[in-house]
Chain A
Amino acid sequence: MPPFRSLRAGLRALFHKEAVSRELDDEIALFVDEATRANIRAGMPPADAARAARARVGSGTAVRERALSGGWETAIESLVQDVRFGVRGMRRNLALTTAAILTIALGVGANTAVFSVVDAVVLRPLPWRDADRLTLLQTDDVRRALHREPTAWRTIADWSNASRTVGSIAYFATQRVTILPTDPGGDRGRSRSALISANLFPLLGVAPLRGRVISAADESQRAAVAVISFGFWQRELHGTAAVLGRTITLDDAAKGGASALTIVGVMPEGFYFPDRLTEIWTPATTWWRFERESVERFPSWARRWTAVGRLADGTSVDDAHAEFTRIGERLAATYQSSVPDFPGFGVTLTPIRDVIVGQNVRATLWVLLGAVGVVLLIACANVANLLLARGSARQQELVLRRALGAARIRVARQLIVESLVLSLAGGALGALVAVWGSRLLGVSAAAYVPRIDEMAVDWRVLVFAAGTSVVAGIVFGIAPALRFSGVDARESLSGAARTVGPRGTRTHRDWLVGAECALALVLLTGAGLLVRSLVAVQNVNPGFDPDGVLTVRVEFPPESPPTAAERAEGSPVGQLRGRARLTLATAVGERVRAIPGVTDVGFVDDLYRIGAGNTAITIPGRIEETGAGELTDGTADAGFFSTLRVPVRAGRLLTTADAEQKLRALYTPVNTALSLAEKERQAVAEPVVVNAAFAKEFFSGQDPVGKRFCVEPTGKTYWYEIVGVIGDMHREGLEHRPIPEWYGPWIPSANGRVDLLVRAPGNPLALGPQVRDAVMRVLPGATVVSISTADAQLGDFSALRRLQTWLFTAFALLALVLAAIGIFGVVWFAVTERTREIGVRLALGASPAQVMVLILGQGLRTPALGIAFGVIGSLAFTRVLSSFLFGVTATDPATFVGVAALLAGIATAACWLAGRGALRVDPVTALRDG
């Protein structure tokens, strides 16, 4: 086995150098000996024979070195030599080494930190087998511009039978659940459960940690079993070993009491589906209305499920979409629907990766990685500059080596190795910077970057750091290597070295500084545009006053289901219960208002909204339903509007009497046989206020107050009457345009959630515990889900933007500082070389100002060129950013001019600082020493 033999021999030569060379020496001595004897045999006198033999062999050392030079270990040895030499050089020049290592550490560290986030969020595989081919299949409601709607079980079954591009199709639906305490007096647990088809777990391809997953038998027998997540096991069951067979009880009061589930399996740590909040999986068939729903196809109440499937090998999402469009057309031809809100059989396919980590987050991260990569490039340019400067000082040494016969490639290798030693030292320090940086990023982005908690500085990240360091070392080592390995020995040794070298290095260095300026300008422009966008977002008037408002998310207590008698036609139980809850809510409001410091209290179903609207209305006299994706509704009490200081534009706000009117509207029997106009006239309408966008959209040029519209698409029996118009509120965050909305009176529902808003100028969060107390005292069965402030929640909508902007700006400023250092270095170096000339000029009567103008003129030539190229580069680059910009265009002239002026100013300052030193020189000294 030659390779093995060679390896062994090489290792022996490396680590037992003494023994190996002794052996060789013996062999050479033997050679001389035998040659001598041969000469004697041939008749030479002994003394001549020995001399001739020695002459024939030559220098023993040379022979030995020659014989040893063939193995691979020699290359390593000379590499080790180069490294040793490099380290020695670094130690000799501590200031330069420190500067270079710190620069690289900063560059590599920042890159590695950002990479660790990209890796966790984008690159690492999702916790399912072949996750890139998993895709969600959802109903597409083109008419109302709603694209990710759930689907009826029967339609999913039809898809499953017909599709070839998507293999087995599973389905699921998630819901919030309350878990009853296992021991009396314990807290009620909260979680989410998913009703799933039996083929879901096989589709995801993840084996349980313990027990088994939901089986086909569970599905067909409607077995009350559950598979739980690792996290749930640890949290709710304290990781007990005897978990299989245990029972968890879900509070299902509204559907007839508690339901007990037997745990049959535990999933491994890190597994989740479809999101991290879902911790319990049960057979879909256990859903109490499953039988009733699974025969229906059209009504909205039967469209509950989200389908998920795996694209067959060799098919793309587009292929699958085309196939499902055809299937949909066939289904539409087969099944005619008279249900007015049935959206048809259109399908949206979304790769599950896009569901978990949105495009926006991914784009943000790639942009940041690009920006920090540019910073590293600038850092490399700076270090290359340092090395070029040092190289000039070392020129004599390098020339000597060349003159003594070192090949150009040998000198170049030496220089590159020295650079690599520097960069790897910087990279090692950079890894530490990265550990710290990624922790910082993880903490500051935890809430709004999905999967960032999966971040870890592990071998992948360290390999990235090492790779980046090596690339950086080669990048910044190339310029010096090219420059100095090519020095012509004769020319340099002949005494002209003092003036020859710098000219060459100066062009190299000018180049680098120009590039630095161009890159820095691109980053600064990007940062400028992002900052302007952030300012524009923060200057958006939310349409209400979120300052000093505490938001308390409350879940009302569940109630037992109505008895059969109570469910009978015309029973007043719904109305009575609603009124009772309303009274309780009023009591809560009064108690909270009594807390010192509280000025207003209000209730709203959801202060902030995520996602588009999803409702449609019918306005008499208009042909079609209107609204959907661009229309939404909400409920609020009378206190909501005053608490948030929402302006009234027309009519009046809701009052407590309106809630009573809504109860009447809800429970008044209706006659479905009338014409639409009759229905409108006779209806007991719910009073609502609409926002300005609603008024403009649907009643442009008219007074909307007093107008009626209805929502229920089938019977058109439930009517609203507009009593007032309020200003638009940015309930989807400041970056989204408010859409038309209407607000009806809020009536609490059992187990329903509501935002309790408490205005308390000063520090509203300090009142949190008192407010919680007040709520729990009036409503002992309620749950306070979370406490925050309206301001903080509004800010969360732009949190990712803020993070991106600040990081990008930090990188850009770092680039600016590095570029400034680069300019300073080059000018300082150039001026130092010209001390003598400057001395002459001063001695001949040039004023310092004149000399400074000269220095600035020459020093700023390349930065100016760099800025020009940077502007061109920015024009191309900012297009990448355009999806992140708000209220500013990608070619915003003010930003471009401002940033270029900033960089020009900094460049001038750096030049001036560098030149000032030279002007302090005494002309006489300069002439004598120069």
Chain B
Amino acid sequence: MPRSTDLVPGTLDLLILRSLALEPMHGFGVAQRIEQISRGVFRVNPGSLLLAFQRMERAGLIEPEWRTSESNRRAKYYSITRAGRKELKLETDDWMARAAAIARLLEA
């Protein structure tokens, strides 16, 4: 298991959008999801996460909503917007293209 728990720079927004594309989640849910799916390679810093939420909310990519959590608490859930889905698609394609390119370079 790699030691690094830092995110690849510039990918946080993409990962958040990807997570929210499945279902609306609160902050910890997103963090946990990223951690689980990446099998613990990436750990998300809460400060960065909330900063990203603020920024993306202002950009209209995600939408907050207060509702009751599974643990029966009032929690701020975020859901992806139409603009967010469009952005996710663009960013995903972009990332795939880069990743493939890097992979090719490393294998060459």
A residues bordering B, Cβ < 8 Å?
A: 1-2, 5-6, 9-10, 23-24, 26-28, 30-31, 33-35, 37-38, 56-58, 62-64, 66-71
Contact = CB atoms under 8 A, between A and B. Distances in A.
Interface in B20-61: 26-29, 31-32, 46-48, 50-51, 53-55, 57-60
B47 A9 contact: no
Contact of A5 (B28, B60, B69): B60
Contacts of A62: 47
B75 interface: yes
Contacts of A38: 28, 32
9 contacts: A2-B59, A23-B76, A27-B76, A34-B26, A34-B32, A62-B47, A63-B46, A66-B50, A67-B50
Interface string B76-92: 10000000000000000
A343 to B, nearest CB: 75
A28 B60 contact: no
Given A2-B60, A27-B27, A33 B50 contact: no
A28 B28 CA distance: 9
Nearest to A67: B50
Nearest to A37: B71
A67 B69 CA distance: 22
Contacts of A35: 28
A71 B47 contact: no
A57 B43 CA distance: 11
A71 B58 CA distance: 9
Contacts of A70: 51, 54-55
A60 to B, nearest CB: 9
A66 B71 contact: no
Interface of B: 26-29, 31-32, 46-48, 50-51, 53-55, 57-60, 69, 71, 73-76
Consensus secondary structure, chain A interface: helix
Contacts of A71: 54-55, 58
Given A27-B27, A30-B26, A62-B47, A67 B58 contact: no
Contacts of B59: 2, 5-6
Given A26-B76, A71-B54, 20 more contacts: A2-B60, A5-B60, A9-B58, A23-B76, A27-B26, A28-B50, A30-B75, A31-B27, A33-B71, A34-B29, A34-B71, A38-B28, A58-B46, A58-B47, A63-B46, A66-B48, A66-B50, A67-B50, A69-B51, A70-B54
A66 B51 contact: yes
Query: Among the interface residues B28, B71, B76, which one has the most CB atoms of the partner chain A within 10 A?
Result: B28
Given A2-B58, A38-B32, A27 B73 contact: no
Contacts of A6: 58-59
Contacts of B71: 33-34, 37
Query: Among the interface residues A1, A10, A24, which one has the most CB atoms of the partner chain B within 10 A?
Result: A24
Query: Among the interface residues A2, A5, A27, A71, which one has the most CB atoms of the partner chain B within 10 A?
Result: A27
Contacts of B76: 23, 26-27, 30
A70 B59 CA distance: 12
Nearest to B47: A66
Nearest to A57: B46
Contacts of A63: 46-47, 50
A1 to B, nearest CB: 8
A76 to B, nearest CB: 15
A37 B48 CA distance: 22
A12 to B, nearest CB: 11
Contacts of B57: 5, 9
Contact of A30 (B32, B48, B53, B73): B73
A27 B50 contact: yes
A496 B16 CA distance: 52
| Shortest Cβ-Cβ A-B pairs, 5 listed | A66-B47, A34-B28, A67-B50, A6-B58, A63-B47
A35 B71 CA distance: 12
A30 B47 contact: no
Query: Among the interface residues A23, A34, A63, which one has the most CB atoms of the partner chain B within 10 A?
Result: A34
A2 B53 CA distance: 14
A298 B2 CA distance: 105
A35 to B, nearest CB: 6
Nearest to A72: B58
Contacts of B31: 31
A67 B31 CA distance: 15
A254 B50 CA distance: 94
A5 B75 contact: no
B9 to A, nearest CB: 16
Contacts of A2: 58-60
A2 B62 CA distance: 11
Contacts of B48: 66
A67 B51 contact: yes
Given A9-B58, A71-B58, A26 B74 contact: yes
Contacts of A9: 54, 57-58
Contacts of B26: 27, 30-31, 34
A62 B69 CA distance: 25
Contacts of A33: 28, 71, 73
Contacts of B28: 30-31, 33-35, 38
Nearest to A66: B47
A56 B58 contact: no
A26 B76 CA distance: 9
A198 B76 CA distance: 76
A268 to B, nearest CB: 50
A821 to B, nearest CB: 50
A611 B51 CA distance: 76
A31 B58 contact: no
A651 to B, nearest CB: 97
A9 B69 CA distance: 25
A33 B31 CA distance: 13
A56 B43 CA distance: 10
Contacts of A26: 74, 76
Contacts of B27: 27, 30-31
A56 to B, nearest CB: 7
Nearest to A6: B58
Contact of A68 (B32, B54, B60, B74): B54
A68 B74 CA distance: 21
B51 A31 contact: no
Contacts of B54: 9, 67-68, 70-71
Given A2-B58, A9-B58, A70-B55, A28 B32 contact: no
Contacts of A31: 26-28, 31, 46
A68 B73 CA distance: 24
A30 B73 CA distance: 8
Nearest to B50: A67
A6 B54 CA distance: 10
B6 to A, nearest CB: 15
A538 B46 CA distance: 83
Contacts of B50: 24, 27-28, 63-64, 66-67
B47 A67 contact: yes
A196 B31 CA distance: 84
B88 to A, nearest CB: 16
Contacts of A30: 26-28, 69, 73, 75-76
Contacts of B55: 70-71
A58 B43 CA distance: 14
Contacts of A27: 26-27, 50, 76
A27 B48 CA distance: 13
B57 to A, nearest CB: 7
A192 B54 CA distance: 72
B79 to A, nearest CB: 15
A198 B57 CA distance: 66
A71 B73 CA distance: 28
A30 to B, nearest CB: 5
Contacts of A68: 54
A30 B75 CA distance: 7
A49 to B, nearest CB: 13
A2 B28 CA distance: 26
B39 to A, nearest CB: 15
Contacts of A34: 26, 28-29, 32, 69, 71
